[in-house]
Chains A and B, each alone.
Chain A
Amino acid sequence: MNTVTTTPSSSAGVALHATPPDPAPSVTASGLCVGHGTQTVIDGLDWALLPGQVVGLLGRNGAGKTTLLESLLGLREPTAGTVRLFDQPVATLDDALRARIGYVPQQSDLFEWLTPAQMLGYFKSFYPRWNEAKVEGLLSKWDIARDKRIAELSGGQQQRLAIVRALAHEPDLLVLDEPVASLDPAGRRDFLRELVDQVLNRGTTVVFSTHILSDLERVAFNVAFLSAGRIAVQAPLDELLETTRRLIGPAAEVQALVQAQRMRVIGRAALDAGRLQVLARVADATTPAPQRTAAVNVEPVTLEDLFMGLTQ
C-alpha cells in the first residue's frame, strides 16, 4: 500500500491556486549571480524548493545547470545574492545539515584509485548516519564489484556507485547533475526506479538536471527551465502540460486571443511572414483552454516543445 502522502503544498512549486501555508523551503536562492571570469552565467536567479519535491532542471548545454547546482551547494561563490539550505546560509552550513545533503556530480570516475569497498568505507567514517544494509543491497543488485578499482569499472557502474555513495547516508536533499548520462536505457530506468523508490519514502527533496526528457517525465513532479541565467518557469509538470498551449498565427490575432483568454505568455518566437508562435498558459487547471480559431492554431504541447520554447 502506498505510504506516501501527497500534500498539496509539496506538489506545487509555484502555487497557481490557493493552498495551505507551505512548509519552510529546503532550498532558497535569491538574487543569485554567478560568473565565470567576466561572463555572468547565472543572473539574478530566484528559486525555492519545498521539502519532498522532485524537481527536474532543464536547460540547454552551457546554460549553467552545473554552475547553478554547484552554487546551491556552496561549492562555488556567487558574485551576488544568497543561497540558503534548510534556512541556513550555505557558506556556513553546520555539520548536522551537511550530513543531510547528498551530491552526485557530473563526472563519475572520482576516487578512481580506490575500490568501491574502500571508497564507501572512507565516506562512512565521516557521516553519523549510514545505512550499510542499503549500500550492500544496492551494490549486489546493481552488480558492482566491491574489490575492483573504480578506474576499471565501466562508466555505468561508476555512475551507479556514485549514486550509492550519495544515498548511503540517507540525505534529505539530493542534488544530481546529469546522473544517468552514461547509462543505457535499461540502466536509466532501473536507476530512476530505484531513486524514486529510495527517496520518496523519506520525503527527500531531489533536484536533478538532465537532458533526457523521457526520464524527467516519468520521475519529476516539478520541472524548472533554466534560461538566460534565470529560472524561466517552474511548475508541476502535469499542470504545465495541461494548461499550456501553443498558439500559432498572425501576430495580431494571436495576441488578441491571448488577451481575450487572459493567458500568460511564457515563451514566444517570431516566425516568418509576420506570424507569431507563442507558448501561453491559462490561469489555472480548471479554466478550459481555448479552441482553435480560423486564424490562430491552438495546439497542446509536449515536454520537448516546452524545452525548445522556454530555453533559449
Chain B
Amino acid sequence: MTAHAGWQRVLLAPLQQRRNQGSRWFWPALVVVALLMLVGAALLPRVPLAWAAVTLLATLALGLWIALVSSLIVQNEPHAARLVPGHARALRRVLLVAGLVFLAVAGIVGAAFGHALPTLGATLLALLVVAWIVRMPALGMLGWIVPMLVSRASKSPAFEAMAGAASDAMLARPGWVAAGATAALLAAVAWSLPQLLQGGDVRHQRSYRARTRLRVFVRHGRVDQTRWAATGRLGCVLRELSTWPYQRVLARISAQRSGDVLGRSLVGLGPVFHWSGQLGSALVFGAIGLLLLSVVWGVGLLGAHLGGASGAVWPLSLGLMTFVVNLSVAARTALYHSRREQALLMLLPGMPRAAALNRPLAVRLLIQFVVTWALGLLACAAFVPVQARQFGWLVTLACVGLPWGALLWRDWSRLPPPSPMTAAAPVVGVMLLAACAVGLQLVFDWPVWTFALGFVWLTLALLAWRWRGVAAAPSAFPVGRRS
C-alpha cells in the first residue's frame, strides 16, 4: 500500500465515497441536467451560444465545488481533526488550493470576455456563499428571508435614499470601492477557512453532531427521537402539537377491539407514515410557514396582495411539484424505516397477508397521496386567482408530480434502502417532464389543459399496469426483506 501524502488522501476520499456509496444514476443524471441546460439555452432566443457554454461550465463547476466541499466537511470529523496529525491542515490546504484553481479558471474565462475583476469577485463570493450553505444548510433554508426582507424594505423611501447615497459614494471613488471590497472578501476568506473546516474542539463536535442528525433526517426522514428534548421547550411543544391528531387516533383505535385490522395496524407505523401524523405536521408547520410569509412578504390569503402578480406562480409551482414528488419519496422512506415494526405487526391476529394485504395497502397509499396532492394544490391555488392564465399552469405543473404517485405501487418486499438518489432522482425527473411540457407548449402552442389531462392519463395508465404486479407480489410487510 503506497503511503499517500495528506492532500492526495483527502482528494481520493470523495472518489472512493462515490464509488462505494454513490448511486449508479449520478452520472447519467448529471449528463441529463447538463444537456437540458444546453438545450434550454440554445432554444431561448437572443442568447449567444458562448453564454450558454459559460453557464453550463459555471453550473458544472459549481456542482464540482459543492461535491468537494461537502466531502471535505464530511471528512472533517472532530476526532480525526484532533487526533490524526496533519489531517485538518491537509483538508484546509486542499480547500484553499481548489478555491484558487476555481478562481483562476473563472479569471481566465472572465478575461476572455473582458470582465476579469468583477468575474473574480463574483466567483469568490459565490464560492464562499455556497461553501457556507453546504456547511450550514440552515443558512440555505432560512437565508432567503434576508433577500425577501431587503426587497420589502427596498420599497420604502428611506431605503431608496440610503441606496442613492451609497451608490453616489461608490461611483465617486472607484478605487476605494475596489480596495474595500477586496479587503472585505479576503477577510471573509481568512475567517471562513478555519470555520468551515474546524479543528476538533467542543464547538466542532456539536456542529458535527447537528449535521449528522440533519443528514439522517433528510436522507431517511427519521428524526432521532431522543434529540427532541435537546431542541428545548419549543421543540417539545411543536412535537406535541404536530402529533396531537395521531395521539387521538391511536387512543381511539386502542380502545376498539374489532374492525379493520389493516387500518389499525398502519397506525402502528408511526406519525411519519400515518395520515394523522402528516396532517398534524402539515397544520403546524404550514401555520408557521404562513406566519413567516405574511410577516416577511406581506402576503395575505386569497392572493389579496398578489392580485394580478403572476410572478408568484412559478416559485409556487416549483414548490408544489417538488412537494408532491417528496410525498411519494417520504412514504417510501417511512415504510422502509418502520420495517421492524412491520415484522411485529405481521404477527398480529387478523393481519392480512399477500394479495389481501397488498391491494388495500396500495389503495390506501394512493388515496393518501392524491388527497395530500389535492390539498397542496388548493393551498397554492389560494394565492392565485382562478381567472389568471397562470392558474392553468399551476394545475398542470402540479399534475406533473402525479405519475410519481404511481411509483408507490411496487413490490415492497424488495424495497431497497433509501439513498441520496432516492430523493434526487424524482426531482430531476419532474423537472424533465415539466421542461418538456413547457417546451412543447411553447413550440406547438397547445392549450395548457391538455398537458394536465395528459399527465393524469399517464398516471392512470401506470397504475393500471402496476396493479397486477402489486397483487401478485409477496406480502408487502416487512418491506425490503428480499433483494
The answer to A–B direct touch (Cβ < 8 A) is yes
Q: Taking the nearest CB of chain A, how far is it from the CB of B356, in angstroms?
A: 11
Knowing A91-B353, A151-B225 are in contact, say whether A73-B347 is a contact too (CB < 8 A).
yes
Knowing A70-B343, A73-B347, A152-B229 are in contact, say whether A125-B256 is a contact too (CB < 8 A).
yes
Kindly state the separation between the CA atoms of A91 and B481 in the bound complex, as whole angstroms.
15
Knowing A75-B478, A98-B349, A151-B225 are in contact, say whether A111-B264 is a contact too (CB < 8 A).
no
Residues of B within 8 A of A92 (CB): 353
Residues of A within 8 A of B478 (CB): 75
Q: Once the chains bind, are A126 and B350 in contact (CB under 8 Å)?
A: yes
Over the window 331-351 of chain B, the binary record of Cβ atoms lying under 8 Å from chain A Cβ atoms (1 yes, 0 no) is: 000000000110110111111
Kindly state the separation between the CA atoms of A37 and B483 in the bound complex, as whole angstroms.
5
Q: Once the chains bind, are A125 and B264 in contact (CB under 8 Å)?
A: yes
B residues in contact (CB < 8 Å) with A: 225-226, 229, 243, 247, 250-251, 253-257, 261, 264-265, 267-268, 270-271, 340-341, 343-344, 346-351, 353-354, 413, 474, 478, 481-483
Residues of A within 8 A of B481 (CB): 75-77
Kindly state the separation between the CA atoms of A96 and B348 in the bound complex, as whole angstroms.
10
Kindly state the separation between the CA atoms of A103 and B478 in the bound complex, as whole angstroms.
14
What is the count of residue pairs linking A and B with beta-carbon distances less than 8 angstroms?
Answer: 81
Q: Once the chains bind, are A113 and B225 in contact (CB under 8 Å)?
A: yes
Kindly state the separation between the CA atoms of A112 and B222 in the bound complex, as whole angstroms.
11
Residues of A within 8 A of B343 (CB): 70, 75, 103, 105
Residues of A within 8 A of B250 (CB): 114, 118, 122
Instruction: Sample 10 A-B pairs with CB under 8 A, ordered by A number.
Output: A75-B478, A77-B413, A107-B340, A111-B341, A113-B225, A113-B243, A114-B250, A122-B268, A125-B255, A125-B264
Q: Taking the nearest CB of chain A, how far is it from the CB of B353, in angstroms?
A: 7
User: How big is chain A's contact interface, by range?
Assistant: 35 or more
Knowing A111-B341, A122-B268, A126-B264 are in contact, say whether A95-B350 is a contact too (CB < 8 A).
yes
Residues of B within 8 A of A96 (CB): 349
Kindly state the separation between the CA atoms of A118 and B341 in the bound complex, as whole angstroms.
15
The interface centre, meaning the residue of A99, A101, A151 with most chain B CB atoms within 10 A of its CB, is: A151
**Which positions 47-106 of chain A face chain B at CB distance < 8 Å?**
70, 73-77, 91-92, 95-96, 98-99, 101, 103, 105
Kindly state the separation between the CA atoms of A124 and B344 in the bound complex, as whole angstroms.
13
Residues of B within 8 A of A114 (CB): 250
Q: Once the chains bind, are A99 and B349 in contact (CB under 8 Å)?
A: yes
Kindly state the separation between the CA atoms of A104 and B115 in the bound complex, as whole angstroms.
69
Kindly state the separation between the CA atoms of A36 and B483 in the bound complex, as whole angstroms.
7
Kindly state the separation between the CA atoms of A92 and B256 in the bound complex, as whole angstroms.
25
Kindly state the separation between the CA atoms of A12 and B420 in the bound complex, as whole angstroms.
53
Kindly state the separation between the CA atoms of A121 and B254 in the bound complex, as whole angstroms.
6
A residues in contact (CB < 8 Å) with B: 36-37, 70, 73-77, 91-92, 95-96, 98-99, 101, 103, 105, 107, 110-114, 118, 121-128, 149, 151-152
Q: Once the chains bind, are A125 and B226 in contact (CB under 8 Å)?
A: no
Residues of A within 8 A of B261 (CB): 126
Residues of A within 8 A of B254 (CB): 118, 121-122, 124-125
Q: Once the chains bind, are A151 and B226 in contact (CB under 8 Å)?
A: yes
> Closest A-chain residue to B341, C-beta based?
A110
Residues of B within 8 A of A98 (CB): 347-351
Q: Once the chains bind, are B257 and A125 in contact (CB under 8 Å)?
A: yes
Residues of A within 8 A of B264 (CB): 125-126
Q: Once the chains bind, are A113 and B271 in contact (CB under 8 Å)?
A: yes
Kindly state the separation between the CA atoms of A127 and B351 in the bound complex, as whole angstroms.
11
Tell me which of B225, B351, B353, B482 contacts A112 (CB under 8 A).
Answer: B225
Residues of B within 8 A of A123 (CB): 348
Q: Taking the nearest CB of chain B, how far is it from the CB of A80, in angstroms?
A: 15
> Closest B-chain residue to A175, C-beta based?
B347
Which 7 A-B pairs give the minimum distances between C-beta atoms?
A: A151-B225, A95-B349, A121-B254, A99-B349, A98-B349, A126-B348, A37-B483
Kindly state the separation between the CA atoms of A125 and B354 in the bound complex, as whole angstroms.
23
Kindly state the separation between the CA atoms of A110 and B343 in the bound complex, as whole angstroms.
10
Q: Taking the nearest CB of chain A, how far is it from the CB of B386, in angstroms?
A: 41
Q: Once the chains bind, are A110 and B225 in contact (CB under 8 Å)?
A: no
Residues of A within 8 A of B268 (CB): 111, 122
Q: Taking the nearest CB of chain A, how far is it from the CB of B423, in angstroms?
A: 22
Kindly state the separation between the CA atoms of A167 and B87 in the bound complex, as whole angstroms.
52
Q: Contacts A111-B268, A111-B270, A152-B226 known; list 11 others, CB within 8 Å.
A: A75-B478, A98-B348, A107-B340, A113-B243, A114-B250, A118-B254, A122-B254, A123-B348, A124-B254, A125-B257, A152-B225
> Closest B-chain residue to A121, C-beta based?
B254
Residues of A within 8 A of B247 (CB): 118
